[in-house]
Structure 1
Amino acid sequence: MPSEVSKVQRRAQVFAAMLVTALVAGMALTENAEAPSVPIGTRLTALSFRDIDGVPYTLADLQPYRATVFVFFSVYCPMCRKYPQRIAQLHATFSQQGVAFFIVNPMSHEPLDELRQYARDVGWQIPLVKDWALAKALGATVTPQVVVLDSDGVVRYRGRIDDNADATQVTRHDLRDALEALLAGKPVPNPETTAQGCVISFPKPRAKTGAVTFYRDVLSILQERCQSCHRPNGAAPFPLMTYDEAVAWAPLIKPFVQSRRMPPWKAEPVAEYHNERRLTEAEIATLVRWVDEGCPEGDPKDAPPPKRFPEKWVLGEPDLVLQPDREFRLDATGRDVYRHFVFPTDFAEDKYVTAIEVLPGNPRVVHHVIAFIDTSGRAKQLDGRDGQPGYEAFGGPGFIPAGGLGGWAPGNSPHPLPDGIAYLLPKGATIVIQVHYHKSGRPETDRTKVGVYFAKTPPKHIVRVLPVVNFLFAIPPGAKRYEVRAESTFVRDVKVLAVMPHMHLLGREMKVTAILPDGAEKPLVWVKDWDFNWQETYFFKQPARLPAGTKVRVVAYYDNSAENPRNPNKPPKWVRWGEQTTDEMCIAFVWFVPDDEATKTAARQ
């Protein structure tokens, strides 16, 4: 072990191979919603609609019920996917008390067969309606959102189902409270609340042509920047393959690209990285102008060829393919799952790995994949204890890794390490594949494949990892921007291949900087808007060459206030180093190899 990685620092290698990114985890998109057109207290004089089986309903049909609940729901909306079980529970509770329920899909671009299948998957026994006009009639503007009528057809409640997408963190049950008040003959305590979710895209006249058109200017941007995730059965919650799909989500495209929330890429442009998903300023301007001018379609003849997505191994047939022996079953809702699949090896000699490639079994739920190396035997002890393949652990793999083999996230293309460089896979080691699953709102299964590629000749250098870490911090409750620093020094010339910042749920910002011996500063990575579910290992397009004596400095900030919606402690408490959800970490992992060329040059001089 080189001097850069001390025995204390080695404890931090529990995350040394992490590569985490991309899947929407619930979003507040109401800034572009229209104002409700029907005030609370309005008595409707006419209302008619049909369910998807053709059964007609009018106000007269609803009068026998003590109340009627319309749940506006999108099968593509990430926020909606947090609620199917809660909707089913509310229906089971209140339908026995004379309350009628309807699930209304107001999104004209969402296929009817997907709505039917989704309802079957989540077990709803509730009439389904597909009608954007019903949303207009009741003043609904986002999904998920509920509107409650009393038996006289008066709008008595409109808003959210409850106050938190995480069912374990709910403190106000708004829909339940509204129904209980109605059934008791009392005023609804909070008749209108703000629903957080996806804006309902009502049909509007579309411009046929303009300075910017979909086929000539916009589609190529979507192909290169968005469709790797936003495609059928992709990692994103909805596709952006066609003109109709892009128009439907246009109210969200503009604010999301302007704020750089999409495409998901957290690092500031302080260096050049592989697989960088940042839009250029020109691309942002094109998308914004297209939305502002009414989404002109243009001539389909101007469209670029369709983008093809690999269904087989991009790097060729792997030397080793890892896949669980059976499907892993994932529940419909709840918190994300970090599942670790265990693959013992029986190689008689050390192997050297130049690349891994991942084929997600179920892209709808596979958020990222990381390959760890275990030589302790601990992973084999944990494997299969709950009757499913693998085992669950938060943040790290549940053991101190002997190393890592890299990882994958949606939108990333596999690329081998530079010539002469490889990861070491010791003989007899166990490969542990961590898969971060993001639940889709319906029961799912997955059986992801990982291909491993070995070096054909012994490498010149083995990749090493320097964890720049602070174990000794304590974040006080209520602190909104608490600073934690860490620092480590290279004692020889190195080439830095990649950097991965790592914090937990209180983390807000981390900057990793190389301080050269002459005092000059070289930025490596700066994440200004940290999100645990959008982590990434940032591989440089060209290795950063750092001379001996260079310090790597980490400056991180944490929000331990009650106002932080990600704070797992309610009320906030003192937070220190640890591996649990309620603990924190402050680490930047630095992938490096010796820079022999620089060392030889210095020696000659």
Structure 2
Amino acid sequence: MNRISWMSLLSVVALLTVQASFASERVGNFALLDHEGSYHQLRKYGDSKAVVIISIASACVENIDKLPKYRLLRTTWEQQGITFLGLNSSVEDEQDDVRLMDALHNFDIPILLDKSQLVAENLGISKAGEVIVLEPNRFQVLYRGGLDIDPVRARPNLGIAASAGTTTLADTLSATIAGDFDGFDETVSTEATGCDLHFPVRDLHESAAPDYATEVAPILEAKCVSCHISGGIAPFAMDSYMMVQGWSPMMKEVIMTKRMPPAQVDPNINHFTNARYMDPSELQTLIHWIDAGAPRGVSEVDPLTQIEPPESLWQLGEPDYIVEVPAFTVPATGVLDYENVTINLPFEEDVWVKSVQHLPGDRRVLHHLLSFIVPADYDEKIVEGENDSYREFLEGYAPGKDEAATYPDNAGVFVPQGSAVQMSLHYTTFGKETVDNTLLGLYFTEDEPQFQYSTYSLSHGGRNLVIPPGVSEHHMSASYVFEDEVMLHGLRPHMHYRGKHMRFSMIYPNGTRDDIINVPDYNFAWQPTYRLAEPMLLPAGSRVMIEGAFDNSQYNLGNPDPDAAVRGGAQSWDEMFIGYFSFHKTNKH
């Protein structure tokens, strides 16, 4: 009995010792885009010995004066496994200001854009010029303060007295490289010098927390409830204050890491009508309300309980024609080949389709599908990413593509008499047998449109796609030249679990280049077709390019097996690299 008691006591002492060694300041995980549109998440720097963050503001002269010291710090420690990032949290700065500063002074490090100031608040930064050292796996703050001070040699003839320098920052970095984290029972702090940062919204919300009924609930209704509704695709329904308050810690985590809202396109490249943008002020309202304890407020009415569910699953009303996909039994377990079906259409005359909507029979098993217009009884197998002159792409269903799709004004998809709908359906099992009965709703134009709407699949192919095990940035690219002048309306990147980021751009015939869309943090679980608010004209001879990367490392939480060499293929654990371009030619059909 005594032996058991002593062993228990020793275990408690050991646990307390470990906790004490980790007692220094912690921060939450976070993610931001940098001034070039690349995505950075603290957790994904887990292979780094430490992450050094330097607070920067374009109007801070002290930042510019210390630039040689920043460069020396980076060149001294970067090759030893330390990552360096800039952080711009100035309310006065825009992306163009940061890019100009970098172009003029060559900071030569990624500068994260913290327009909402939420990351600076998370890190406790108060000045431009402040330096933070983080351990990226434990989210531990090892150091905060300024750069080390150089020693000064006495020069009596100039009235300069000798002064000792400091090595606190260098000592901290040396300890992290040696793996000596037990010495950081407290965050090492020194005085930071630089330009004061102002946090007007934080100060406002500290004096009066955002109101749930008048400030928080309207944001949730506008940006979240369409998915977070009973029976929706989200894991919980935002149908009351109690539900939101209960999930508020998770809400903060997914907002701070940019997992939500989904469809996180680069907001500085074009504008897309379905990109689910959230303004910095909206992010501040939500996070500051959660940090204040998610108070209910004084309103007697809970706005989220007043939201009525849609009257019909068909967003545009009853379709002109409903295509019923043959029922398919999905077994409880196993790997299924793609299901290809061809359904003849009974139309006795040519028609033009203006809008389409897929209603999945069982979202738990239908991962995605592609629909095409083909000749009746067409039985050629669909290969995703390949183009076929006998097929016209209609629309697809995938996570994030629940909404009805409407083609641009004066454009539609032509359906000749004697046509069929061909579908390729990808089912996944989830431990229980079920039957899927998917429907496709077609909405016709009243008059014949001027333009034939088309989609081109730009693909690397996949046959020579090989991603080595463990690699975190495996690059790929592909390009295509449009021989005709076209008006570009929609874009969709498609990769699988290891997809990391993809950028679409075009090179005009005169050699100039424009970005079209940047998806800096690709999400396999969210694959909408992004609709341009203002279509882009591509002159004849324009080359479109897709450039992206895969993450086959352990830091990709969706990676099924970081130790596997991955090849191209149809299943989700294989990979694809496809960019879809939806357009119409400018000459009338």
TM class by shorter-chain length? Answer: 0.5 to 0.7
Alignment RMSD:
3.8
Q: Which residue of 2 aligns with 1:592?
A: 583
Contact 2:369–2:396 (CA<8 Å) still a contact in 1?
yes
Q: Which residue of 1 aligns with 2:440?
A: 450
Alpha-carbon distance in 2 for matches of 1:299, 1:397: 58
Alpha-carbon distance in 2 for matches of 1:223, 1:400: 43
- The 3-state SS of whatever aligns with 1:486 is strand
**Cα distance per residue 1:178-230 (max 9 Å; x no partner):** xxxxxxxxxxxxxxxxxxxxxxxxxxxxxxx9521222221112212212221
1:265 aligns with 2:254: no
Alpha-carbon distance in 2 for matches of 1:251, 1:423: 45
Alpha-carbon distance in 2 for matches of 1:394, 1:492: 25
Going from structure 1 to structure 2, the CA distance change for 1:357 and 1:331 (only over 3 Å counts) comes to: same
Q: CA deviation at 1:534?
A: 2.2
Contact 1:356–1:452 (CA<8 Å) still a contact in 2?
yes
Alpha-carbon distance in 2 for matches of 1:404, 1:590: 11
Q: Which residue of 2 aligns with 1:298?
A: 297
Contact 1:561–1:572 (CA<8 Å) still a contact in 2?
no
Q: Which residue of 1 aligns with 2:190?
A: none
Letter in 2 for 1:319: D
Q: Which residue of 1 aligns with 2:533?
A: 541
Q: Which residue of 1 aligns with 2:542?
A: 550
Q: Which residue of 1 aligns with 2:201?
A: none
Contact 1:354–1:453 (CA<8 Å) still a contact in 2?
yes
1:220 aligns with 2:242: no
Alpha-carbon distance in 1 for matches of 2:364, 2:299: 29
For 1:3-402, what aligned pairs fall within 5 Å after superposition? Answer: 211-269=209-267, 270-301=269-300, 303-304=302-303, 305-324=306-325, 326=327, 328-330=328-330, 342-362=342-362, 370-375=370-375, 377=377, 402=391
> Which residue, out of 491, 496, 521, partners 1:529?
521
Under a length normalisation based on structure 1, what TM-score does the superposition of the two structures give? Answer: 0.55
Under a length normalisation based on structure 2, what TM-score does the superposition of the two structures give? Answer: 0.56
1:418 aligns with 2:408: yes
Contact 1:498–1:591 (CA<8 Å) still a contact in 2?
yes
Contact 1:356–1:407 (CA<8 Å) still a contact in 2?
no
1:407 aligns with 2:396: yes
Contact 1:323–1:448 (CA<8 Å) still a contact in 2?
yes
> Which residue, out of 444, 456, 459, partners 1:469?
459
Q: CA deviation at 1:434?
A: 5.0
Letter in 1 for 2:276: R
Q: CA deviation at 1:398?
A: 13
Contact 1:234–1:363 (CA<8 Å) still a contact in 2?
no
Letter in 2 for 1:548: A
Total equivalences in the alignment:
381
Contact 2:411–2:453 (CA<8 Å) still a contact in 1?
yes
Q: CA deviation at 1:300?
A: 3.5
Going from structure 1 to structure 2, the CA distance change for 1:368 and 1:223 (only over 3 Å counts) comes to: farther
Going from structure 1 to structure 2, the CA distance change for 1:528 and 1:430 (only over 3 Å counts) comes to: same
Contact 2:270–2:516 (CA<8 Å) still a contact in 1?
yes
Going from structure 1 to structure 2, the CA distance change for 1:580 and 1:483 (only over 3 Å counts) comes to: same
Alpha-carbon distance in 1 for matches of 2:9, 2:237: 34
- The 3-state SS of whatever aligns with 1:512 is strand
**Cα distance per residue 1:358-377 (max 9 Å; x no partner):** 34445566655542334484
Alpha-carbon distance in 2 for matches of 1:537, 1:344: 26
For 1:543-582, what aligned pairs fall within 5 Å after superposition? Answer: 543-561=535-553, 566-567=558-559, 571-573=563-565, 575-581=566-572
- The 3-state SS of whatever aligns with 1:290 is helix
Contact 2:372–2:423 (CA<8 Å) still a contact in 1?
yes
Going from structure 1 to structure 2, the CA distance change for 1:477 and 1:563 (only over 3 Å counts) comes to: farther
Alpha-carbon distance in 2 for matches of 1:398, 1:336: 24
Going from structure 1 to structure 2, the CA distance change for 1:398 and 1:594 (only over 3 Å counts) comes to: closer
Going from structure 1 to structure 2, the CA distance change for 1:362 and 1:582 (only over 3 Å counts) comes to: closer
Going from structure 1 to structure 2, the CA distance change for 1:454 and 1:489 (only over 3 Å counts) comes to: same
Q: Which residue of 1 aligns with 2:503?
A: 511
- The 3-state SS of whatever aligns with 2:579 is strand
Alpha-carbon distance in 2 for matches of 1:581, 1:446: 20
Alpha-carbon distance in 1 for matches of 2:401, 2:243: 20
Contact 1:338–1:395 (CA<8 Å) still a contact in 2?
no
Alpha-carbon distance in 2 for matches of 1:39, 1:397: 66
Contact 1:340–1:397 (CA<8 Å) still a contact in 2?
no
Q: Which residue of 1 aligns with 2:110?
A: none
**Cα distance per residue 1:93-141 (max 9 Å; x no partner):** xxxxxxxxxxxxxxxxxxxxxxxxxxxxxxxxxxxxxxxxxxxxxxxxx
| Percent identity over paired residues | 30
Q: CA deviation at 1:338?
A: 6.2
Contact 2:467–2:567 (CA<8 Å) still a contact in 1?
no
Q: CA deviation at 1:480?
A: 3.1
Alpha-carbon distance in 1 for matches of 2:423, 2:371: 5
Contact 1:367–1:436 (CA<8 Å) still a contact in 2?
yes
Alpha-carbon distance in 2 for matches of 1:490, 1:372: 21
1:488 aligns with 2:480: yes
Letter in 1 for 2:408: P
For structure 1, which runs of at least 5 residues remain unmatched after alignment?
Answer: 1-37, 43-208, 383-392, 598-605
Higher relative contact order structure (alpha carbons within 8 Å, sequence separation ≥ 6): 1
For structure 2, which runs of at least 5 residues remain unmatched after alignment?
Answer: 1-7, 13-206
Letter in 2 for 1:315: L
- The 3-state SS of whatever aligns with 1:249 is helix
Q: CA deviation at 1:415?
A: 4.6
Going from structure 1 to structure 2, the CA distance change for 1:271 and 1:462 (only over 3 Å counts) comes to: same
Letter in 2 for 1:355: S
Contact 1:216–1:303 (CA<8 Å) still a contact in 2?
no
